A and B are shown apart, each in its own frame.
Chain A
Amino acid sequence: MLRGRMAAGAVQNLFSVGRKGKMAMAGFVILCFFSMLAVFAPLLSPHNPWALGTPYLPPVKGHPLGTNDIGQDLLSELIYGTRISLMIGFLAAFLATGIGTAVGLLAGYLRGVVDEALMRLADVFLLIPTLPLVIVLVAYLKPSIWNIIIAITLLSWAGTARVVRSRVLQVREMPFVKSARALGAGSFYVMFRHVLPNTAEVVFAKASLTVAGAMLTEAGISFLGLGDPTQKSWGMMLHHAFSHGAVVNGYWWWYLPPTFCISLAVLGFVLLGYAGQEEEQGARRGPPV
């Protein structure tokens, strides 16, 4: 109950008036648009994206964005691609945020040896370059959306853990936490009941940026040809377009729409997260993702 109310409060703060509010609102509208696309994909797309037809069509009547190398309708592919791209982004960010929040909470609240150990571990993970590791992992584990999600999660939790920890360090010194402890509340009770809800805003902002990062990574490795070959995502569309010479032949209708969708969706998440992040500077440095 309380936790829900706090989260709702965080969301409300985000849309508060001013430029940041506008930014957050813009991000929210963009995300609503893409969520609708993903949910109603079967109703919105003019064709079955897997149905074969005439290959390499430019935009014509019936195929507003033309067709790909095996004659699948590109607009339908684009709409269905929203599902996979968003799903990978959300799932990876959900897992990473869960792990990161737990680690940050434990490290920040318990301090001492636990803090040292967990933060050193996070530092190590922050050192590893994301894209090359994901490439190697996915290449060995065979491309599938689950492997991509696991690989992205593995490298995204550390950033969240650091951010959450620095917020927890502030919260644990607040009077109400101290009084709860003085009343004899156990560590875990205080942590989850009192400290966690007060990190909601930070967690929410960071989660939004993690989705953006995950979507970019997914698009990157799919573009490299390590995407799930059985699924349609925006990155996979770019990969097929690029490997079939769409760039050198000027088939702009093949790769511009997915480009546009990726950047717009990522921008949506970044706007949402950035607006939340700007609320309080200090502990965090630097820009999104």
Chain B
Amino acid sequence: MQKLYLLSRLGRYVVAFLLIITLNFFLVRFMPGDPLIHLLGEESYHYLYVHEPEALEKLKAEYGLDKPLPAQYYAYLANCLRGEFGWSYRYGQPVFKVIGFRLKWTFALLLPAIIISACLGAYLGALCGWRKGQQPDIILTPLSLFFYTLPTYCFGMLLVLIFAFYLDLFPLGGVVSGNVFGVWRFIDILWHMCLPLTVLIIHNTAYNYLIMRNAVAQARTGEYVLTALAKGLGEMRVLFGHVFRNALPPLVTVVALDFGFLLAGALLVEIVFSWPGMGTLIYDSVMARDYPMLQGCFLILTICVMLANFVADVLYALIDPRIKEGEAVA
């Protein structure tokens, strides 16, 4: 049953992935003008158009643009599955290679932020949901609503102004200062990471906090809570031993399901701190109109988001015994 559930989910990912690839395919081919403009870049396209029209024809054949659409589509699909997303004219390198390098830095920022903020949000949310309307809750809830609505890049600029510009405690941006090696390089990277990581942690914690608070507030109305309290268990023991476990599935799934949302926040923060991840890559590609790169980024990010969703499904199946035993969960 568990397998069946995961398989049906997998089907969805395949459909979504095909949809994205199809969209990418048609965006290039049905835009006004020669599709080669988007593949080669305007500059080199016009250069070739004027000076070497026969080279242009050759390229057209190379990209398979002279074949009928279904054949083109099949070739495109095969290339995507092999990880060949095209050639970035701006970097003079295959798109996949550039993205692979950049993705590393994005995850260096995103993963610690997700883990720390999940723990922090779960703990604070559980406490405040348990005592809804009391002391920590009335302060923390409006505060998290505020941090939740403050865009990450705005928050980032604010921190840069205070801690980097006026107080001069942290660097303005970048990932490492030159001329440092070994352990010092690692420490230097951590030092550069402080501000962007703080932004992401606070933003994500606010988000997780709100979910956990609601989940716990809802779970505490269950009768088993009353039973546990009646048999004399301490409040904290009931909260973290019984309620917490029941409130966890929504948090786990939401953290994974909203991975795309967290990712978007991280991408924009990177730009503020000139962190060399996917965000700055997208920013630079937008500026340079590097279409193959933009498409590659989009595909890779979508795959990451889908993977995160799949992890959520697996975790959910593990945590929620109802799925384990094969009960239908809407």
Contact of B291 among A139, A242, A259, A288 (CB under 8 A): A139
A49 to chain B, nearest CB (A): 21
Per the bound structure, the CA–CA distance linking A246 and B210 in Å amounts to 33
Per the bound structure, the CA–CA distance linking A55 and B179 in Å amounts to 38
B-contact 0/1 string along A252-267, CB 8 Å cutoff: 1001100100110011
A136 lies within 8 A of B214 (CB): no
Contact of A259 among B154, B215, B289, B295 (CB under 8 A): B154
Per the bound structure, the CA–CA distance linking A259 and B166 in Å amounts to 19
Interface flag for A191 (CB, 8 Å): no
Interface flag for A62 (CB, 8 Å): no
Per the bound structure, the CA–CA distance linking A131 and B153 in Å amounts to 14
B153 lies within 8 A of A223 (CB): yes
Which B residue's beta carbon lies closest to that of A223? B153
Q: B43-51, B97-105, B296-304: which one contacts chain A?
A: B296-304
Q: B71-79, B81-89, B143-151, B226-234: which one contacts chain A?
A: B143-151
Are A247 and B154 CB-contacts (below 8 A) given A128-B16, A132-B297, A286-B250?
no
Q: A1-9, A89-97, A119-127: which one contacts chain B?
A: A119-127
A220 to chain B, nearest CB (A): 6
B301 lies within 8 A of A129 (CB): yes
A-contact 0/1 string along B282-322, CB 8 Å cutoff: 11001101010011011001100110010000000000000
Interface flag for A35 (CB, 8 Å): no
Q: How many positions in chain B have a CB within 8 Å of any CB in the partner chain?
A: 62
A274 lies within 8 A of B145 (CB): yes
Chain A residues within 8 Å of B214, by CB: 278, 281, 285-287
Are A133 and B13 CB-contacts (below 8 A) given A219-B151, A225-B283?
no
Interface residues on A, range: 35 or more
A191 to chain B, nearest CB (A): 21
A118 to chain B, nearest CB (A): 14
Task: Provide the main secondary structure of the chain B interface.
Answer: helix
Contact of A225 among B158, B260, B286 (CB under 8 A): B286
Chain B residues within 8 Å of A256, by CB: 158, 161
Question: Which A residues from 124 to 149 make CB contacts under 8 A with B?
Answer: 124, 126-133, 135-137, 139-140
A26 to chain B, nearest CB (A): 9
Which A residue's beta carbon lies closest to that of B166? A250
Are A262 and B154 CB-contacts (below 8 A) given A129-B260, A132-B301, A248-B165?
yes
Per the bound structure, the CA–CA distance linking A267 and B20 in Å amounts to 32
A-contact 0/1 string along B194-230, CB 8 Å cutoff: 0000000000000100110011011000000000000
A242 lies within 8 A of B157 (CB): yes
Chain B residues within 8 Å of A287, by CB: 148, 207, 210-211, 214
Task: Provide the main secondary structure of the chain A interface.
Answer: helix
Chain A residues within 8 Å of B161, by CB: 247, 250, 252, 256
B149 lies within 8 A of A267 (CB): yes
A184 to chain B, nearest CB (A): 30
Which B residue's beta carbon lies closest to that of A120? B12
Interface flag for A19 (CB, 8 Å): yes
Chain B residues within 8 Å of A219, by CB: 151
B154 lies within 8 A of A286 (CB): no
Per the bound structure, the CA–CA distance linking A223 and B161 in Å amounts to 18
B250 lies within 8 A of A135 (CB): no
Which A residue's beta carbon lies closest to that of B249? A285
A-contact 0/1 string along B117-149, CB 8 Å cutoff: 000000000000000010000000000011011
B283 lies within 8 A of A285 (CB): no
A130 lies within 8 A of B264 (CB): yes
Chain A residues within 8 Å of B215, by CB: 285
Which B residue's beta carbon lies closest to that of A241? B157
Interface flag for A37 (CB, 8 Å): no
A124 lies within 8 A of B15 (CB): yes
Which A residue's beta carbon lies closest to that of B132? A19
A247 lies within 8 A of B254 (CB): no
Which A residue's beta carbon lies closest to that of B142? A23
Between A and B, 12 residue pairs with Cβ closer than 8 Å are A124-B12, A127-B302, A129-B301, A131-B264, A220-B268, A238-B157, A242-B157, A247-B172, A263-B146, A263-B149, A267-B145, A267-B146
Q: Give me the interface of B with A, judged by CB distance under 8 Å.
A: 12-13, 15-16, 19-20, 24, 27, 31, 38, 133, 145-146, 148-151, 153-154, 157-158, 160-161, 165-166, 172-173, 207, 210-211, 214-215, 217-218, 250, 253-254, 257-258, 260-261, 263-264, 267-268, 271-272, 282-283, 286-287, 289, 291, 294-295, 297-298, 301-302, 305-306, 309
